[in-house]
Structure 1
């Protein structure tokens, strides 16, 4: 198993986040870069949200955040118990695509999170077959299709 390093996202990481969010493999799924940077800045001050940069060696390459499903009014998670952690992630550095890193670091993150939380949940875009497959490789199971507040169709997946 590779040794992935998880560290808190800091304000110094914002230029890197901006670069990653603009990448052609990230932007279609995460949307407007400036809007996301504004949300990240806002969320950095919320202790209920854990935001992390993942590195291999000394090279950062991915982002992951998680929070209780009740932290925000997210209808796609409405049927899940409080204490369930919602996870969202992406590989930002395109040099790390297609090598199993996403499933690898996600699996490493899940080991720690499963000790603390009864269930984990993810809600990738329903048309993002690649990310749905990565979550499945990490042990998530499809639960149902659901709409977000803005009407986007997502595949709700859980790990328990």
Structure 2
């Protein structure tokens, strides 16, 4: 399925930190992400090579529009992240996870997230990844719907003290059939 928009992914660099800070301080991101300084610290670790997660700014029609990252389940477990996300043990170590957010709130609910995600997934599948997961807060219905439209299906839920994580996996066969 060809993209209607011109979408490209650029690895995050230190020059992107002010933009990321602005986005992460906005209410629509604060609702689902952690504290901006903490999140930016994680991204700095990625950019500077202390974390294997690959962070990107996605551009839509030439304009920076949001943030997306891909991370290794095996590396997350080896790094002790499973203390915060025990459900990781139910995924195969060769799986990768994806997280994303639209940067500008004016761009929400316009199909951009689904389209960006489908383009990013095509890149990951081309790289050879066969198991791709995403783990939204179940209460984030806008994100869950976008992920379903991109080809993810829910397979489990993890309940903790203050939220429910919906575990979703890309239906790779269906994704390949629809992206041709």
Shorter-chain TM-score range: over 0.9
* Higher Rg: 2
**2:12 pairs with one of 9, 13, 21:** 9
Question: Does the Cα contact within 8 Å between 1:76 and 1:147 map onto a contact in 2?
Answer: no
Most deviating of 120-129 and 71-80: 71-80
Q: TM-score, normalised by structure 1?
A: 0.92
Name the counterpart of 2:140.
Answer: 128
Which aligned pairs between 1:84-95 and structure 2 lie closer than 5 A? Answer: 84-95=95-106
Q: How many residues align?
A: 159
User: Secondary structure of 2:68's match?
Assistant: strand
Name the counterpart of 1:140.
Answer: 152
Q: CA RMSD in A?
A: 1.6
Question: Does the Cα contact within 8 Å between 2:158 and 2:164 map onto a contact in 1?
Answer: yes
Structure 1 stretches of 4+ with a deviation exceeding 3 A read: none
Q: TM-score, normalised by structure 2?
A: 0.82
Deviations 1:72-99 (A, max 9, x none): 1332221111221100000011222121
Instruction: Return the structure number with greater helix share.
Output: 2
**1:60 pairs with one of 50, 61, 64:** 64
In the alignment, structure 2 segments of 5+ residues that lack a partner are: 173-180
